[in-house]
Chain A
Amino acid sequence: MAPSLLPWFYVVQRFALALLTLFIISLTVFFACQLLPGDVAEILLGQAATPEAVAGLRTAMGLDEPAIQQYVNWLTGFLQGDLGTSYANRIEISELIGGRLVNSLKLAGVTTMISVPVALTLGILAAMYRGSALDRVISIFTISIISVPEFMLATFAVLVFAVWLGWLPALSLSSAEAQSWGELLKAYAMPVISLSIGVSAQMIRMTRAAVIETINTPYVEMALLKGASRSRMVLRHALPNAIGPIANAVALSLSYLVGGVIIVETIFNYPGVAKLMVDAVATRDLPLIQSCAMIFCVSYLSLITLADIVAILSNPRLRK
Chain B
Amino acid sequence: MTARTSLLARVPTPARLGYRFNLVGRIGLAVILFWAVIAIVGPIVAPYPPGEIVGWDYFTPMSAEYWFGLDYLGRDVFSRILMGARYTVGISLAAVFITVTAGVLLGMVAAVIGGWFDMVLSRLLDALNGIPSLLFGLVSVAALGSSIPILILTLAAIYIPGAYRYARALAVNVNTMDYVTVARARGETTFYLISREIFPNILGPVLADLGVRFIFIVLVLSGLSFLGLGVQPPNADWGGLVRENIEGMSFGAPAVIFPSIAIATLTISVNMFIDNLPTKIRDRSE
Give min CB distance, A171 to chain B, whole Å: 8
B260 interface residue per 8 A CB criterion: yes
List, in ascending order, chain A residues with CB within 8 A of B264's CB.
Answer: 144, 147-148, 152
Task: Contacts A149-B222, A162-B250 known; list 8 others, CB within 8 Å.
Answer: A24-B124, A32-B143, A151-B260, A163-B251, A263-B134, A281-B138, A281-B141, A289-B139
Give min CB distance, A151 to chain B, whole Å: 5
Q: What interface size band does chain B fall in?
A: 35 or more
* A293 x B239 contact (CB < 8 A): no
Interface members, chain A 26-54 (any B CB < 8 Å): 28-29, 32-36
State which of B78-86, B90-98, B223-231 sits at the interface with chain A. Answer: B223-231
- A-B pairs with the 4 shortest C-beta distances? A24-B127, A147-B267, A21-B127, A152-B260
* B226 x A151 contact (CB < 8 A): yes
List, in ascending order, chain A residues with CB within 8 A of B167's CB.
Answer: none
List, in ascending order, chain B residues with CB within 8 A of A284's CB.
Answer: 142
* B135 x A35 contact (CB < 8 A): no
* A155 x B242 contact (CB < 8 A): yes
B249 interface residue per 8 A CB criterion: yes
A301 interface residue per 8 A CB criterion: yes
Chain A facing B: main interface SS: helix
Chain B facing A: main interface SS: helix
* A300 CA to B134 CA, complexed, in Å: 12
A33: contacting residue among B133, B135, B143, B249, CB under 8 A = B143
* A134 CA to B264 CA, complexed, in Å: 23
* A158 x B249 contact (CB < 8 A): yes
B207 interface residue per 8 A CB criterion: no
* A202 CA to B229 CA, complexed, in Å: 26
B57 interface residue per 8 A CB criterion: no
List, in ascending order, chain A residues with CB within 8 A of B141's CB.
Answer: 281
* A266 x B227 contact (CB < 8 A): yes
* B267 x A148 contact (CB < 8 A): yes
B132: contacting residue among A29, A164, A267, A297, CB under 8 A = A297
B226: contacting residue among A32, A36, A149, CB under 8 A = A149
B140 interface residue per 8 A CB criterion: yes
* A24 CA to B127 CA, complexed, in Å: 6
* A170 x B267 contact (CB < 8 A): no
User: Considering only CB atoms, which chain B residue lies closest to A293 in the complex?
Assistant: B139
* A20 CA to B219 CA, complexed, in Å: 29
With known contacts A147-B215, A149-B239, A21–B132 Cβ distance under 8 A: no
**Residues 106-139 of chain B, each 1 if its beta carbon lies under 8 Å from chain A, else 0:** 0000000000000000011011101111110011
